[in-house]
């Protein structure tokens, strides 16, 4: 009995630390990367890995004349086509490495052509430019090796899933801008072209963005965040697809953190932020532990209630600057959708590899 009581202190302590961490990191002002005011010399290339998506190239071409090339990598025959000389569509005959494989395929292609750019910018295929003018981000595209801009999910923001998706991205953007451990988030990423020329590649992980962050840190390259929304993506079409997406991120983040995070050099503050970020994905486990202790009827079951209350306070610290209308969606995410996420977290804790299971079992091209 006493062992259970002491065990319950672990999630309580972690959740308390989570709340303090969220409150502390939100104190910072102006967390964005410093701009240089310089002009681009060679322009930028936009890279889109595609699986059953069609890139709206016209909107991207209209974004700025500084875009010298748009490179689309298809893993299946999508119908991406353009007569514009700036647009190149590449077709892979396999799905090796999934999204990471497609990104690296594009990078290797560019290096073989000998073309030069200031930055390569990476976007998900369903994204379109936001209302932010490209000229406003040019001052940031000088000097820093890796930049993570903010982006929104859930466009056109009409359905409950749209709003659920938007609320999670809103909080993710805020957290990433304020904490010391900043990571790439899959889209609206800018990497200096010289860094790619020096050999930087996306690891073959189901969370290639997070894995890339850790690889860059090993090279002492930190991600700088610019809290300017530059693109908007669509929400998953169904709740089932949304849950699978969240599961994939949970599994991959926990696995990459377990395999590579501990051996990556960080400052003490970065290390604490890194651990707290992983802890966000472990909250489902803490929640189940709390419920188990509450239902077990042990003497200290009120401690389980304390855990749940602390958890609610932690979520509030993340949401308090978000519009109130998005609060119910975020609580739905963390108290309902988190339950099936437990299996994904366990896969991340116990397996050293994970399939991109959202698409893998539905056929398509071979991964070999």
46-55, pLDDT tens digit by residue? 999 988 788 9
pLDDT at position 353 is 78
Q: Check: CB of residue 209 under 8 Å from CB of residue 184.
A: yes
The reply to whether 130 falls in a domain is yes
Residues 166 and 298 in one domain: no
pLDDT at position 77 is 67
Residues 221 and 246 in one domain: yes
Domain hosting 309: range is 2-28+270-354
pLDDT at position 101 is 92
**Residue 368 token pair:** 């070999």
Angle at CA of residue 272, ends 19 and 350, nearest 5°: 95
Q: Quote the number of domains for the chain.
A: 2
- Phi-psi group of 236: left, alpha or beta (phi > 0 → left; psi -120 to 50 → alpha; rest → beta): beta
pLDDT at position 304 is 56
Residues 274 and 257 in one domain: no
Give this prediction's pTM. Answer: 0.83
CATH number for 208: 3.90.550.10
pLDDT in tens, 238-287: 878 888 888 888 899 999 999 998 788 898 888 888 887 887 777 667 76
The reply to whether 365 falls in a domain is no
Closest by CA position to 368, among listed 49, 77, 95:
95
Residues 55 and 6 in one domain: no
Residues 144 and 101 in one domain: yes
Phi and psi at 249, nearest 5°, equal -65, -40
Low-confidence ranges of the chain (pLDDT < 50): 1-2, 299, 357-368
Q: Check: CB of residue 180 under 8 Å from CB of residue 115.
A: no
The reply to whether 73 falls in a domain is yes
The reply to whether 362 falls in a domain is no
Residues 99 and 221 in one domain: yes
- Cis peptide preceding 156, ω within 30 of 0: yes
- C-alpha distances out from residue 212 to 203, 293, 350, Å: 6, 38, 21
Residues 288 and 175 in one domain: no
Q: Which residue has the tokens 């290390």?
A: 271
pLDDT at position 367 is 42
Residues 9 and 67 in one domain: no
Angle at CA of residue 100, ends 148 and 60, nearest 5°: 55
The reply to whether 367 falls in a domain is no
């Amino acid at each position: 009995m006493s062992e259970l009581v002491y065990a319950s202190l672990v999630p309580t302590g972690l959740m308390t630390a989570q709340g303090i961490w969220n409150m502390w990191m939100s104190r910072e002002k102006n967390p964005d990367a410093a701009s240089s005011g310089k002009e681009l010399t060679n322009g930028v290339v936009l890279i889109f890995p595609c699986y059953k998506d069609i890139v709206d190239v016209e909107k991207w071409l209209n974004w700025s004349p500084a875009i010298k090339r748009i490179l689309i990598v298809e893993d299946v025959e999508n119908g991406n086509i353009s007569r514009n000389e700036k647009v190149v569509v590449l077709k892979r005959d396999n799905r090796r490495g999934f999204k990471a494989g497609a990104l690296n395929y594009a990078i290797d292609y560019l290096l073989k052509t000998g073309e030069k750019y200031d930055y390569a910018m990476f976007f998900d295929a369903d994204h379109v430019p936001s209302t932010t003018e490209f000229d406003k981000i040019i001052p940031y595209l000088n000097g820093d090796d890796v930049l993570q801009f903010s982006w929104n999910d859930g466009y056109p923001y009409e359905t409950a899933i749209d709003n659920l998706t938007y609320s999670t991205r809103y909080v993710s953007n805020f957290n990433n801008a304020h904490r010391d451990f900043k990571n790439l988030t899959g889209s609206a990423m800018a990497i200096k072209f010289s860094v790619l020329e020096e050999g930087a590649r996306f690891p073959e992980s189901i969370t290639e963005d997070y894995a890339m962050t850790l690889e860059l840190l090993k090279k002492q390259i930190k991600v700088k965040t610019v809290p300017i929304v530059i693109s908007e993506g669509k929400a998953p079409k169904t709740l089932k697809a949304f849950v699978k997406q969240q599961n994939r991120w949970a599994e991959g983040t926990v696995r990459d953190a377990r395999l590579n995070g501990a051996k990556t050099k960080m400052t003490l503050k970065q290390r604490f932020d890194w651990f707290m970020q992983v802890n966000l994905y472990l909250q489902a486990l803490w929640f189940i532990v709390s419920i188990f202790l509450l239902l077990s009827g042990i003497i200290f079951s009120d401690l389980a209630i304390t855990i749940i209350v602390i958890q609610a306070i932690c979520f509030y610290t993340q949401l308090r600057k978000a519009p109130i209308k998005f609060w119910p969606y975020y609580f739905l995410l963390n108290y309902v959708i988190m339950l099936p996420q437990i299996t994904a977290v366990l896969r991340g804790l116990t397996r050293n590899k994970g399939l991109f299971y959202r698409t893998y079992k539905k056929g398509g091209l071979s991964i070999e």
